Structure 1
């Protein structure tokens, strides 16, 4: 791996961590505890569109682990990994099928992230009633996905390919 690529990885992971920290400082005013806007998804989108898919996956994984170790715990890492992996796969498929705009790909990611987290919550807490949160999460994932997708799309249009 070249020094330039290592620097790009480092910058994107650092940016994702800063966005995660900012998001953690926002007051919890959502219907479902733990809901976030998913600002770090902007970084994953940029990496997905401006780097190789493998690079974007690595950046996403490193970000999830570092954010959980820095600001969270084992359970937050579990939730983030489930949501992050499912989200990444949905965004990758959406991007490759070329039927979605950047905002559409982001929406797929936001919705998939929420589904992944609910699945982990149901499994960890052994409580199927948590699935009742899913409609709220899907609606929120749709809105947050559009927001982060529009922002990510603006950045993608302005940035050159990174790798």
Structure 2
């Protein structure tokens, strides 16, 4: 990896951590625990498109670890399960070239919640699965929003890179 790769990864990680923190300041009053916009996932999708899955894996892993260290450590398993499952599915779908970035992100949002609810069911028991339909719907909606935002950011980064800005 080049120095430029390390710098981009560090910047993406920093932005993801800031977005995660900002999002924690404004919880959604939806009555269903665990539903968030997933703003940090914009960075994951952009990194996947601009850096590839291997570098995005490290960004995702470090984001989960650092968020757990500076937040509530018990959320680490939930974050890892959701983040890594989501990343794996998005990387596979993106690699086929058959899906739009929004569709890839929507699948990632659903899989993120599926990974988290699976861990929750193991930790808390199967009763938590009653939240599954709500979390799947929320994952789909937030995944679409994240995909649209990530598409805008990725296009902007690519156009800036093509112009030589920041090179």
- How far the C-alpha of 1:99 sits from its partner, in A, is 2.0
Query: Does structure 2 conserve the Cα–Cα contact (< 8 Å) formed by 1:42 and 1:152?
Result: yes
Name the residue aligned to 1:7. 7
Q: Tell me the residue number matched to 1:63.
A: 63
Is 1:51 matched with 2:39? no
Aligned counterpart, 1:39: 39
> Per chain length, whose mean CA-contact separation is higher, i.e. which structure has more relative contact order (CA < 8 Å, sep 6+)?
1
After TM superposition, which residue ranges in structure 1, 4 or more long, deviate above 4 angstroms? none
Distance apart, 1:28 and its partner CA: 3.5
Task: Give how far 1:56 is off.
Answer: 0.9
1:155 and 1:18 map into 2 onto residues whose CA distance is 16
The root-mean-square deviation of aligned C-alpha atoms, in Å, is 1.4
Kept after mapping to 2: 8 A contact 1:91/1:108:
yes
Alignment of 1:66-145 (within 5 A): 66-73=66-73, 75-125=74-124, 127-145=125-143
Measured in 2, the distance between the counterparts of 1:26 and 1:99 equals 35
TM-score (ref. length: structure 2): 0.91
- Rounded Cα–Cα distance in structure 1 between residues aligned with 2:140 and 2:107: 8
Q: Secondary structure at the match of 1:159?
A: helix
Number of matched residues?
A: 160
